[in-house]
Amino acid sequence: MTQDADKPDVHGSNDNRSDEKRLIKVWDLPTRLFHWTLVAMVVIGYLTGWVFAENTMGIHLWAGYVTVFLLIFRLTWGLFGSEYSRLETFTFTPTHIIGHLKELATLRPVSHYIGHNPTGSLMVFGLLFVLGTITLSGLMVLGGEENQGPLAGAATYAMGDLAATIHFSFVLLLIAMIVAHIGGVYMEMKLTGEELIKSMITGFKSIPANTPELVNRKARPIAAIIVMLAVMGPVGSVLWALSTMPPSGLVALEPNDTYETECGDCHLPFHPSLLSTDSWTKMMLNLENHFGDDATLYDEATAVEITAYLTKFGGDKWDTEASNRFNIVDPKKPYQITATPYWIRKHKDVNPDFFKLKKVGIKSNCGGCHQDHYSGSFNDQSIKIPTEKKQ
Ligand code: HEC
Ligand code: HEC
């Protein structure tokens, strides 16, 4: 062995397979906490955003905010953490990565790395990037589609809609990466005999005694906290400033007594944003044939007032998810909200028995399940199915 080969390389790797083992501290507590909290947030995010969906959206948002914090933390800790948590100890060149992949492909024991190995490090950077994109696009969906959160004033519905596509595509990518990550860890454990999962819990790794160690710099938590505050301060201020903007898609609705009394007689008065001005006008001209009922008003003046109100606050004046989606009607039923493709799609998985509940009764009784139907927002967090026995 030459002198040079004895010197630890910058990544602390070793291809010498010695049987003698030595325990070494690799992952400091903050890095381990980061790793497992992130796992928990991804699982919670997946369950609340995909599996249980809508009515757990509040928890989903919190998982997102915690993830943003974790990402900022990890990048900072990548500068000031203890040796093997530092990004520079696992930034590899493409040659390194290809070399390691080739080694893995032989399915024979491979070089030991104390910290992240080259493919593992690629995964770390990839995951940080993908998670960053998922949380940022999520914030944009929240602001654009739901008119909530710091971007409610800045993001239009169209921006939110585009962000939703990005959010979903990156979640698919994330799932693929997690599968690859777990597969990679499993393979690496088989080929090196190292207990990688255990080391991410205890912080210690058992490695061949002659694996060269790095300089082993200590963590600098105070510097890390200062830098994190320095980053989060301005970012937080910008988000706070944006959050003071009024939600871009919502209109200041002036309640109208005539509308509420006359059109709230047989069913709840629907929010004016739910149909376009065009649909409302058509409906108002055809009240004697109103879904099998005669809803003709006593006098012309009342009809004119209601038409004016619905035209002033019709769907085309809003930029909410509901206004954008419900305004696309079934041409054969131009003023039936529950016949729009979006309504049907959103409610096709809702248990049909829910519509028969005493407090609901009929599918067009939006307020039976959507507590915020008066605002026209129809937020996921405000969906509450009444808990009572069937009629
Ligand atoms: C005489 C009772 C009656 C009055 C008054 C009435 N409606 Fe209706 N309306 C109905 C019935 C019945 C239906 C069909 C059942 C349902 O969907 O609730 C309906 C359905 C609707 C729908 C479609 C709901 C869906 O399923 O998508 C809209 C929109 C609507 N009404 C608006 C109005 C407006 C606006 C007024 C006031 C001008 C009004 N209604 C007055 C009885 C009435
Ligand atoms: C029986 C309860 C019930 C009734 C009645 C009901 N909904 Fe819903 N609605 C739900 C549930 C549950 C969801 C979530 C479905 C999902 O995506 O899993 C939902 C989803 C929605 C969404 C999508 C929310 C989002 O951000 O993804 C909109 C908008 C909506 N409903 C509007 C309406 C309107 C308008 C009416 C009345 C014409 C109505 N709903 C009647 C239960 C109901």
pLDDT tens-digit readout, 115-162: 898 988 999 999 999 999 999 999 999 999 989 999 999 999 999 999
Question: Which residue puts its alpha carbon closest to atom 38 of ligand 2?
Answer: 364
Question: Which residue puts its alpha carbon closest to atom 33 of ligand 1?
Answer: 263
- Round to whole Å and give the CA distance between 255 and 269: 11
- Round to whole Å and give the CA distance between 23 and 113: 13
Structure tokens at 163: 């962000």
Per-residue pLDDT of the chain (391 residues; tens, 9 = 90+): 333 334 445 565 665 555 688 889 999 999 999 999 999 999 999 999 988 866 788 899 999 999 999 999 999 999 999 999 999 999 999 999 999 888 888 888 778 888 898 988 999 999 999 999 999 999 999 999 989 999 999 999 999 999 999 999 999 999 999 999 999 999 989 888 888 999 999 999 988 888 887 778 999 999 999 999 999 999 999 999 999 999 888 898 999 999 999 999 999 999 999 999 999 999 999 999 999 999 999 899 999 999 999 999 999 999 999 999 999 999 999 999 999 999 999 999 899 999 999 999 999 999 999 999 988 889 888 888 888 654 4
CB within 6 Å of ligand 1 — which residues? 262-263, 265-267, 270, 287, 290-291, 293, 295, 306, 335-338, 362, 364
* Amino acid 52: pLDDT: 83
Termini Cα distance of the chain? 85
Residue to substitute in 265, 288, 291, 370 for testing ligand 1 pocket (most ligand atoms within 8 angstroms of CB): 291
Domains by residue range for the chain, with CATH: 8-243 (1.20.950.20), 257-382 (no CATH)
C-alpha dihedral over 242, 74, 41, 55, to 10 degrees? 0
Structure tokens at 120: 């593992």
> Which own/partner pairs from 331-340 qualify as long-range (CB within 8 Å, at least 24 positions apart)?
334/278, 334/279, 334/282, 335/275, 335/279, 335/280, 335/282, 335/283, 336/291, 337/270, 337/274, 337/275, 337/364, 337/366, 338/363, 338/364
Give the number of the ligand closest to the Cα of residue 164. 2
- Round to whole Å and give the CA distance between 151 and 248: 9
Residue to substitute in 259, 289, 293 for testing ligand 1 pocket (most ligand atoms within 8 angstroms of CB): 293
* Amino acid 12: pLDDT: 58
Structure tokens at 16: 């010498």
> Do 120 and 188 contact (CB within 8 A), yes or no?
yes
* Amino acid 104: pLDDT: 84
CB atoms within 10 A of CB 242: 16
* Amino acid 391: pLDDT: 45
Question: Distance of CA 362 to CAs 225, 340, 359, 379, Å?
Answer: 55, 16, 9, 20
* Amino acid 298: pLDDT: 87
Question: Distance of CA 275 to CAs 317, 335, 342, 389, Å?
Answer: 10, 7, 12, 32
CB within 6 Å of ligand 2 — which residues? 53-54, 274, 321-322, 337-338, 346-347, 349-350, 354-355, 360, 363-366, 368-370, 378, 380, 383, 385
Q: Taking the alpha carbons of 301, 304, 305, 306 in that order, is the dihedral positive or negative?
A: positive
pTM of this structure: 0.82
12: left (phi over 0), alpha (psi -120 to 50) or beta: left
* Amino acid 53: pLDDT: 66
* Amino acid 390: pLDDT: 47
CB atoms within 10 A of CB 207: 23
Residue to substitute in 329, 330, 346, 360 for testing ligand 2 pocket (most ligand atoms within 8 angstroms of CB): 346
